[in-house]
Chain A
């Protein structure tokens, strides 16, 4: 069975209810095909896992979704709106937020500032309003502060609000990135290896946390994760990439039993 066949099945069954739809997305870097004709759909409220061996194209897929890398061909739409050609900040405005595999916090800034910045799209104050503390800024700034504080509390970092992000522990940086992404008030949250570097206890907590966040903010979540038990326990559905191709898609039990997946993991890594 080929990847294309999967996509046919998927498109026919999820067209109307999907929040995110990827059709034949392809990305080449020179001769290398990082993502090859991948298609899938994500339904609202779902926690959708994206797994695969190293170099399978997972992060590239995230970059395509968030607009950091334009696809070479294919279609991506969010809530029925085509994302192709939109710059990252536009996609963020539409309600897609993400975290990064190699944490990209604003290291020299405080945790609070990191979260404040991400509220950019939900505030409007211009230069003069900001400088004079009048007009929009007058109303927005307390709101921004309150929201940032609330989100830091949610991820348990309110004590460290004034500390520079680069001084945080690895796990705290991951949490801060999630808080920052949540500040965008997204509808779709893309988490790139949120458990990387966390200890087993933290990982267990993370599952509960992600579910809680999903429910609290009515989110749809797509996550990349290496830690298989976490993915199996957390995700509603899983897509498996290998060498840029989608080799399996379905609920955790089905995917875990798929011979192609077993082959990819055993043979690959």
Chain B
């Protein structure tokens, strides 16, 4: 492969891969604590993008019942993205209280969480459609500031000066933001009391509660963090590509599942690795096979599961006899 094309594909893969990773982390921490898959995580992704869009003062150009509505104020983008993601986080908590907690207290089959969160996802998507509309919403091109607006792509010359590699500036920003988030998250989980407790709860909720960790409080915080990450990923993708409507998060929701299972369910480094692997694999699909790009994540998932049934970094389940 031509080195220029290779470098370009590699950078593209990293950029989308880190977003996959952030999104998938939201899935995986919930799984690590409760052993359930939250199907509404894709809808949270959508919500995060919508929240941020309206918080920066964006108007609804959709045809829902809130057509042409908007907030009377506009926050600076950095603040809006934080508040918007946090609001997504609280939606995650709300979902936990309404759809998961009742199941947990009844000791229901964990599979039911799939159905109850599916219902929630259906509500969110159709509520957005009803209130906002099915139309596409776009962030203004100067949302990352004037520099990005004036220089929408940057040419890199580090391989062959005669053939510069154009990379979208937004992609570079997203990559940088994602890296910062991942580092912060690594710190949070490995170094803080919250992180240690989180891991303890993930390891064994019963022991953790005996050790004095308030399991309920950590479940609350986990869903807050999960929703925050989902909403953040949604906003990042939204600024890069525009919000394509209420079904914006659905494809990411599905692909995120592939990411976490590929990496190993409930495994935090695994989600990052899975995101990067799938991002890169998609970027390196040869042009002639672009038809199959959509299937790459799943083909990879299928093959890797056959070789390593517990995913790349997952621990093998040892059944105690």
Contact = CB atoms under 8 A, between A and B. Distances in A.
Contacts of A102: 320-321
Contacts of B321: 59, 63, 68-69, 100-102, 104
A59 B321 CA distance: 8
Nearest to B319: A68
B251 to A, nearest CB: 39
Interface string A98-123: 00111010000000000000000000
Interface string B287-321: 00000000000000000000000000000000011
A69 B320 CA distance: 10
Contacts of A63: 321
A59 B320 CA distance: 11
Query: What is the size category of the interface that chain A forms with chain B?
Result: under 10
Contacts of B320: 102
Nearest to B320: A102
B139 to A, nearest CB: 51
Nearest to B318: A29
B316 to A, nearest CB: 11
Interface in A68-92: 68-69
Contacts of A68: 321
B320 to A, nearest CB: 8
Contacts of A104: 321
A59 B319 CA distance: 13
B46 to A, nearest CB: 39
A97 to B, nearest CB: 15
Contacts of A69: 321
Interface string B32-69: 00000000000000000000000000000000000000
Nearest to A101: B321
A29 to B, nearest CB: 8
B206 to A, nearest CB: 17
A114 to B, nearest CB: 18
Interface in A220-241: none
Nearest to A98: B321
A16 B80 CA distance: 82
A100 B321 CA distance: 7
Contacts of A100: 321
Contacts of A59: 321
Nearest to A68: B321
A102 B321 CA distance: 7
A63 B320 CA distance: 10
Interface string A28-69: 000000000000000000000000000000010001000011
B109 to A, nearest CB: 12
B106 to A, nearest CB: 17
A177 B132 CA distance: 61
A99 to B, nearest CB: 11
A198 B320 CA distance: 23
Nearest to A192: B321
Contacts of A101: 321
A68 B321 CA distance: 8
B107 to A, nearest CB: 13
A70 to B, nearest CB: 13
B29 to A, nearest CB: 27
B228 to A, nearest CB: 37
A102 B320 CA distance: 9
A187 B143 CA distance: 78
A78 B321 CA distance: 22
A63 B318 CA distance: 13
A111 B200 CA distance: 38
Interface in B256-302: none
B310 to A, nearest CB: 16
A85 to B, nearest CB: 18
A97 B144 CA distance: 69
A129 B320 CA distance: 36
A190 to B, nearest CB: 12
A241 to B, nearest CB: 16
A102 B319 CA distance: 12
A82 to B, nearest CB: 22
Interface in A235-250: none
B261 to A, nearest CB: 25
B288 to A, nearest CB: 44
A188 B314 CA distance: 38
9 contacts: A59-B321, A63-B321, A68-B321, A69-B321, A100-B321, A101-B321, A102-B320, A102-B321, A104-B321
Given A59-B321, A101-B321, A102-B320, 6 more contacts: A63-B321, A68-B321, A69-B321, A100-B321, A102-B321, A104-B321
